[in-house]
Amino acid sequence: MVVDVAGETVEYRHSETAPVIRVSATDAEQADWFDLGVTVEIDGEQIPFQQLFVALAREESHLVLDSGTYFSIDRPELDQLRRLIEEARDLTDRESGRLRVTTYQAGLWEELAALGVVEVQSERWGNAVGRLLAGEDADPPAPPAGLAATLRPYQLESYRWLAYLWDAGLGGILADDMGLGKTVQTLAAVLRAREYGTVTAPVLVVAPHIGRGQLPRKPPGSPRAKRRRRRADGE
């Protein structure tokens, strides 16, 4: 029997080394999103992620690389990785072929980071996720120095919640009965952001006519608001 060999023969080698998972989160083009990067290596060789993902989805026991290295993928950390990547894909546009996350998925990132090595994370992502995972009660902010009003205890709690969302880069809806001071709580959060330098542009506050009496005579960062209000009232 004659056997023709085409190309180079591959020497197969079994590796018992645990795969190394590396994750990263970098700034994306859209301000609210971050690009999520995941790589897996074994003995310094990067594993094609799509190949690994398909093998995990098929519940195969081993994976053979083009180099001849083969290893067991029956590992709990790899199965957990597959589940987390599926979750991340469900949250993004599949046609883009990219994995992306927002700060709303801070819990998902925490689970990914626990699986391996955090290779790169942008400063903006690190600050936002760190603030989120620390919780609302971590280092509660005092009312801004320039606020010409005294917040009641429940208003102070709402203001701190708004500040927490702002620092984490998240939006929110402050809902309460009319007349309980939602406007002044929001203005306090805006004023804090201005004092911290995270807001430099004018801020537009839209309030119902009944609530206009609650506005300070000189709203933060808008010295012309008083004149505009007078013109709107026909003065």
Going from N- to C-terminal start, the domains of the chain cover 13-134, 153-232
- Residue pair 221/203 in contact (Cβ under 8 Å)? The answer is yes
Which residues lie across from 47 on neighbouring strands?
Answer: 40
Q: What is the pLDDT along the chain (235 residues), one digit of tens a residue?
A: 777 767 677 789 999 999 999 988 888 877 678 888 888 999 999 998 888 888 888 889 999 998 999 999 999 899 888 888 888 777 665 555 568 888 778 788 888 888 888 888 888 778 777 777 777 777 788 999 989 889 999 999 999 999 988 887 778 888 888 878 888 999 999 999 999 888 888 888 787 765 455 555 554 444 444 444 444 454 4
Assign domain 153-232 to its CATH architecture. Answer: 3-Layer(aba) Sandwich (3.40)
For residues 92 and 80, give the distance between their C-alpha atoms in angstroms, rounded to a whole number. Answer: 19
For residues 170 and 132, give the distance between their C-alpha atoms in angstroms, rounded to a whole number. Answer: 10
Please tell me what DSSP assigns to residue 139: S
Query: What sign does the dihedral 75-80-83-85 (CA atoms) show?
Result: negative
- Residue 209 structure tokens: 């006519």
- Residue 94 structure tokens: 């599949």
Beta strands 13-14 and 69-72, pairing class: parallel
- Residue 204 structure tokens: 């537009």
